A and B are shown apart, each in its own frame.
Chain A
Amino acid sequence: MGSAHGPISVGSAGTQSRGEVWTRPVLVDGDQSLGAVTRRVCDVVEAPKPPRAWYIAITISASLTLMLFGMVVYLIATGVGVWGNTNPVFWGWDIVNFVFWVGIAHAGTLISAILFLLRQKWRTSVNRAAEAMTLFAVCCAGMYPAIHVGRIWVAYWLFPLPNQMQMWPNFRSPLLWDVFAVSTYATVSLLFWYMGLVPDLATLRDRAVTPLRRRLYGFFALGWRGSARHWQRFERAYLILAALATPLVLSVHSVVSFDFAVSQVPGWHTTIFPPYFVAGAIFSGFAMVVTIMVPARELFGLRDLVTMKHLENMNKVILATGSMVGLAYATEFFIAWYGGNAFERFTFLNRALGPYAWAYWIMIFCNVVAPQFFWSKSIRTNPWLMVGVCILVNVGMWFERFVIVVTSLSRDYLPSAWGYFKPTPIDICTFIGTLGLFFTLFLLFCRYLPMVAIAEVKTVLPDAHAHDEHGHAGGAAHGRSPEVQHV
């Protein structure tokens, strides 16, 4: 099993007497020349026609998006009553889906910011697509609070805008903090994504054969010439944005968890919510990245850039964060008993044994049991099995939000006020519609923008380290220790 772990053993001169010396494996397969990377990524965008599967996929997803628009128009024209939200469950699928999509949005920034600060160079092959996915997920999430307000024409009241009525949102409400948290997150994610795109857009501009493409890519490339000064500023800005985005990864879902946890509702008010929501968000976000990257790399011939190693690493993150979520579930359950609060005890027993037990056990199976399959290397390196597990994880994380939102509200302190929440077809079609919107945007991104960060991948290629004896990314040597220094 050990040799399968990938360290390439290179006994370099002068160290052989000390036994094995490991260097880092190359992160990209196939032709590793700089030009080959550019060609492989740009070919997807520059091909006269995308693959047939792309047409089929976008036909389906665009149809679902149309359905979403129809549902939203119907909702606005008729009122929020078309949803299943009613006494006692006034937060139904809209909040569930909002939290679900915000959670999905977490992988992008984690990969681009935190993994950047942790020098995880494998991120370069997947960060662009993950960041794009983040933005599209935020679009789906942000829509829900706006259409939930009922009178959508005053949705801008969510923001604290000075007005002649002297009317302000409640600054003590975590719902307002959400407005700030999510909009800040969306802004920084967009900046991060776009800034990373600039050098690649310039590459596309320089390769363009039609004037329209040249003008469009040229406009968005902001006059990038690739000079040393450009690069120096770029690298600095990237580091600063990464540092700024890192707390945002924690803050967004922490604030979302506050929506529940500041209340006194049993099952909602528990102090572990912030870190537990963040772990769950990263868990679901990575599952979505794997779910869409596996087909995307097949479809667009990017298997050499997004290798099995990349997918395996993401699956390990899924296993780690999934286990954190499992630990949080166990802690919550234990403290519900240990705390001695009768309502807390009831809430948790009600989750596991009450009318929503089916949802609870789906959640436990998908979130706690399913990721454990990734302990097996053969499962976490098999494209179809990993997609299967990741889809389960996405299902499970949706049900987690459903269980939290609905079980606590449906049975509160007063048994005479209990009820059973049922979604309406409008609820269901709206949610399916957001899936359509998400995939439509992603498919358009695949077709018109470089799916892999060309410039960043080049930095991990052997050619980028001309003086490196080991010839590998990961910086085994920069000429400081004598035996690897040779000029």
Chain B
Amino acid sequence: MTSTSTALETLGPRGARWSQLALGVGVLGAALAAFLGSQFHDGFARFQHAWLLACVFWLTLSLGALFFVVLQHLVRAGWSVVVRRVAELVAANVVVAAVLIAPLVVWAAMGHGSLWSWADPESLRASPLLQGKAAWLDGRFFAIRCVVYFGIWIGLSRWLLRHSVEQDSAPDAKPTLALELRAAPAMVVYALSVNFAAFDLLMSLSPTWYSTIFGVYVFAGSVMSFFAAAVLIVSFLQGRGLLARAVTVEHYHDLGKFLFAFVFFWGYIAFSQFMLIWYADLPEETEWFHVRLAGSWKLVSAVLLFGHFILPFAGLLSRHVKRRVGFLSLWAVWLLVMHAVDLAWIVLPPASHGHGAESHAGGAIGLVDVACLVAVGGVWTFALVRSAANRSLVPVGDPRLPESLAFENL
């Protein structure tokens, strides 16, 4: 433990280089995305969907991380202390998603229905079904709810990070006790906010459709994507000589187990949602899957079934794979791609809807989506590296650190 000095475990000057690089990539991506978006000549409607997809993708990484950090305090986990700082930083990075998603929310609150079609008062009036829920699907109320969701996540993640960082310079057990004591109510707030944010940001893209499990579905994917990202971030840092003594194969093994568990959990939730709707065959529910099982989306659905569930389930089953950082990282990359595909599968089909159902030639997922993912990802990474720059990458003052350092899977 004496080997983990704070000086050794900060990014140092390299951080500045990485953050500049990330920002550059982000700006280039944004420029490309804006250009590609303009080529649709649809008042940037398609671009908005791609932008929402990108924001939500990076948002879910932070939300998964936030869940992980709160959970570690809630159950007083010992093994995870060495990787918790990474999670704390990723969680606090939720502010990037908040800033980048804000224009979309403001646009909707101003009554434009190009992304969330219900935001257009005309379309709301045209549908008797939507009139029944006009009280909820109201632009301004929607904006207020978004402020509340992001306020909760930003406040919670900053509070977790602040108390943890406090311990770095002045080792003291008190912050840990405070966090552990308040982790339970934090989890309640987290569950409520994520559940309803999933309904608002994603489910309401198809405003007549509903599924009670939808919040759990988004949650499952979020947590899975965080574990994939955690494996990659930690192995990236280790490749550059950081965290070298703190994180061992045992920690990767546990991250891999959680990754596997949430691949399985996602599959369970996705199956439950699909099977129940397919079986009951009620038109107000099947419309959502009907679109996704037609045209090019049919292929995407099959990709999700195999790529997001069956293949990684088989691939991550073995202890051997979870203890080989190379294999594990490969699966982590694969699953992050699948998570993006999953979100695209949720966000993009409505993009082609109101503009002539058959008109979306050129495939389901386009270059503009990739460009937006890169753009938001660049800014997101920039902010992450910046916030990590002068901080220890391990919570060196945490009273459970020795347990984490000595952790072994038996």
**A61 cross-chain contacts in B, Cβ below 8 A:** none
Given contact pairs A274-B272, A331-B212, A340-B132, A247 touches B399 in the complex (Cβ within 8 A): no
Number of A-B contacts (CB under 8 A): 147
Q: Is the CB of A477 within 8 A of B213?
A: no
Q: Is the CB of A476 within 8 A of B171?
A: no
> Does any Cβ of B come within 8 Å of A486's Cβ?
no
> Does any Cβ of B come within 8 Å of A31's Cβ?
no
Task: Give Cα A327 to B136, complex, Å.
Answer: 19
> Does any Cβ of B come within 8 Å of A187's Cβ?
no
Q: Is the CB of A269 within 8 A of B282?
A: yes
> Does any Cβ of B come within 8 Å of A184's Cβ?
no
> Does any Cβ of B come within 8 Å of A162's Cβ?
no
- Nearest-Cβ distance from residue A252 to partner chain B, whole angstroms: 13
> Does any Cβ of B come within 8 Å of A1's Cβ?
yes
Task: Give Cα A24 to B399, complex, Å.
Answer: 11
Given contact pairs A323-B188, A327-B195, A477-B406, A19 touches B1 in the complex (Cβ within 8 A): no
Q: Is the CB of B174 within 8 A of A2?
A: yes
Binary CB contact string for chain A from 1 to 44 against chain B (1 if under 8 A, 0 otherwise) = 11001010100101100111111100000000000000000000
Determine the residue in chain A with the shortest Cβ distance to B400. A22
Q: Is the CB of A341 within 8 A of B284?
A: yes
- Nearest-Cβ distance from residue B381 to partner chain A, whole angstroms: 32
Task: Give Cα A5 to B184, complex, Å.
Answer: 14
**B78 cross-chain contacts in A, Cβ below 8 A:** 24, 474, 476
> Does any Cβ of B come within 8 Å of A244's Cβ?
no
Q: Is the CB of A340 within 8 A of B129?
A: yes
Given contact pairs A18-B396, A476-B403, A272 touches B177 in the complex (Cβ within 8 A): no
> Does any Cβ of B come within 8 Å of A339's Cβ?
yes
**A14 cross-chain contacts in B, Cβ below 8 A:** 1-2
Q: Is the CB of B272 within 8 A of A254?
A: yes
**A323 cross-chain contacts in B, Cβ below 8 A:** 188, 191
Given contact pairs A340-B132, A478-B406, A480-B408, A15 touches B1 in the complex (Cβ within 8 A): yes
Task: Give Cα A257 to B210, complex, Å.
Answer: 19
Task: Give Cα A402 to B306, complex, Å.
Answer: 39
**B1 cross-chain contacts in A, Cβ below 8 A:** 14-15, 18, 481, 483
> Does any Cβ of B come within 8 Å of A332's Cβ?
yes
- Nearest-Cβ distance from residue A477 to partner chain B, whole angstroms: 5
Determine the residue in chain B with the shortest Cβ distance to A23. B403
Task: Give Cα A477 to B79, complex, Å.
Answer: 11
Task: Give Cα A14 to B402, complex, Å.
Answer: 11
Q: Is the CB of A340 within 8 A of B208?
A: yes
Within B59-106, which residues are at the interface with A (CB < 8 Å)?
Answer: 76, 78
Q: Is the CB of A271 within 8 A of B273?
A: yes
> Does any Cβ of B come within 8 Å of A301's Cβ?
no
- The contact of A262 among B170, B215, B279, B396, by CB within 8 Å, is B279
**A1 cross-chain contacts in B, Cβ below 8 A:** 181
**A337 cross-chain contacts in B, Cβ below 8 A:** 133
> Does any Cβ of B come within 8 Å of A216's Cβ?
no
> Does any Cβ of B come within 8 Å of A170's Cβ?
no
- Nearest-Cβ distance from residue A179 to partner chain B, whole angstroms: 18
- The contact of A247 among B208, B211, B212, B264, by CB within 8 Å, is B264
Enumerate the 6 nearest inter-chain pairs by beta-carbon distance, A residue then B residue, closest first. A19-B171, A272-B212, A2-B177, A271-B213, A20-B173, A339-B210
Interface residues of A (CB under 8 A from B): 1-2, 5, 7, 9, 12, 14-15, 18-24, 117, 247, 250, 254, 258, 261-264, 269-275, 319-320, 323-324, 327-328, 331-332, 335, 337-341, 375, 474-478, 480-484
Interface residues of B (CB under 8 A from A): 1-2, 76, 78, 129-130, 132-133, 136, 167, 170-174, 177-178, 180-181, 184, 188, 191-192, 195, 199, 208, 210-216, 257, 264, 268-269, 272-273, 275-277, 279-280, 282, 284, 396-397, 399-403, 405-408, 410
20 residue pairs from A and B, CB less than 8 Å apart: A2-B174, A14-B2, A18-B397, A19-B170, A21-B399, A117-B257, A250-B268, A254-B268, A269-B280, A271-B272, A271-B277, A323-B188, A327-B195, A340-B132, A475-B410, A476-B406, A477-B402, A477-B406, A478-B408, A481-B402
